[in-house]
Amino acid sequence: MTGTLGRLVPVPLREVWAHEANDFTPWLARTENLALLAETLALGELQIQGTEVPVGNFYIDILARDIEGNVVVIENQFGPTDHTHLGQIMTYIGGQENNVTIVWIAEAFREEHRAAIDWLNASTIEGFNFFAVELEAVKIGSSLPAPRFSVVGKPNEWSRDLTRKTRSGERPLDERQKAFVAYWSALGSFLADHHARFKVRDPTPRDYWCNFGPLARPGFLLVATAGFRDHKIGTELFISSNVRFPKRAFDRMEAERTSIDAEFGAPLDWQRLSDKKGCRIAIYRTDLDPTSQDQWPQQHAWFLDQLERFSRVFRSRIDGLDIDALEDSPSAGLEPTSQSAGS
């Protein structure tokens, strides 16, 4: 290359976003910008829940959820970090049990605050994750300024994984588990090769069902199943007990069953599961054997097609449900049970 290369030049943040709360927070809360931060932190898809969300006597700048429905709190700060924002973070996590990710964004992290993030990641129980992220704006020549996130503190996943295995006494996989890991890993590779938005999450599932996370809102889970004994594969929308009124949510959608089946392009299996808390809307195939590797490409293509159909047909309906207006009666059961006995 013989041409002259440009140089990155820093741009003062307040020339890009005049005010942290009024300008930067709304900008970051946009889907495409939140995706940039999530990509930097390897958090996967994030779904915005709100901005300036009140918690006690202070406000969370951005509240989001990850693909598993877990809470992600984002605290923004122009200038160097201070004890006030650290205190707000500590106040928030004090009321949480687990599965919370905290992202603290600032122009510059003081060494003591970076050390505090490292200590929190090393000392808190599994399920709490803390990121320290420095924000800058840069440009080349007369180009438009661009945001740049730099991670200066993050969870030590290696040490946590080691601790988790030590505590649980994790044993080597048995033959059944190895078979499921191989099956879902192959599906994950297929989805990646086809640039699908659906991903097989880490760690790879070791059982008959593979959870692709929530659709539109927490508790409405996209799931693929593979029965090795009954040679049955399926794709489903599982309405879990994390939904405030799962039965009534199911009933609202089943009231549109005729139009939904028509839009989906095939009759679905509507399972209210009256003796369980959750519900299931599914489609199955019994002409394909998941233990036959020769059939895997055909099965994986079918899974991708069904996942796309479920997403297309149900996303807007789920998003439009008025959960607070629903009423429900108590029922028993918690997690999805195998419709296919072929585990």
Q: Cα(74)–Cα(61) distance, rounded to whole angstroms?
A: 6
**Residue 337's CB: how many other CB atoms inside 10 A?**
13
The structural domains of the chain, with segments of one domain joined by +, span 8-165, 175-325
d(CA 315, CA 303): 17
CATH architecture of 8-165: 3-Layer(aba) Sandwich (3.40)
Picking from 208, 235, 232, 207, the residue whose alpha carbon sits closest to that of residue 221 is: 235
Answer yes or no: are the C-beta atoms of 245 and 326 closer than 8 Å.
yes
Task: Report the candidate in 226, 215, 224 with the shortest Cα–Cα distance to residue 253.
Answer: 215
Q: Which of 82, 79, 72 is nearest to 113 (CA)?
A: 82
Query: Which pLDDT score, from 0 to 100, does residue 158 have?
Result: 40
Task: Identify the residue whose tokens are 């898809």.
Answer: 45
Residue-wise burial string across 164-199, b where 16 or more C-beta atoms lie within 10 A, e elsewhere: eeeeeeeeeeeeeeebbbebbebbbebbeeeebebe
Judge contact between 108 and 81, C-beta under 8 A: yes
Q: What angle do CA 34, 132, 126 make, to 5 degrees?
A: 95
Per-residue model confidence (pLDDT) at position 95: 64
Number of Cβ within 10 Å of residue 148's Cβ equals 14
- The CATH classification number of 175-325 equals 3.30.1460
Binned average pLDDT, 10 residues per bin, the chain of 343 residues: 77 94 93 87 81 82 81 92 87 72 94 92 81 94 91 70 46 81 93 90 85 87 93 94 85 95 97 89 95 95 97 93 61 37 41
Coil/strand/helix, residue 141: coil
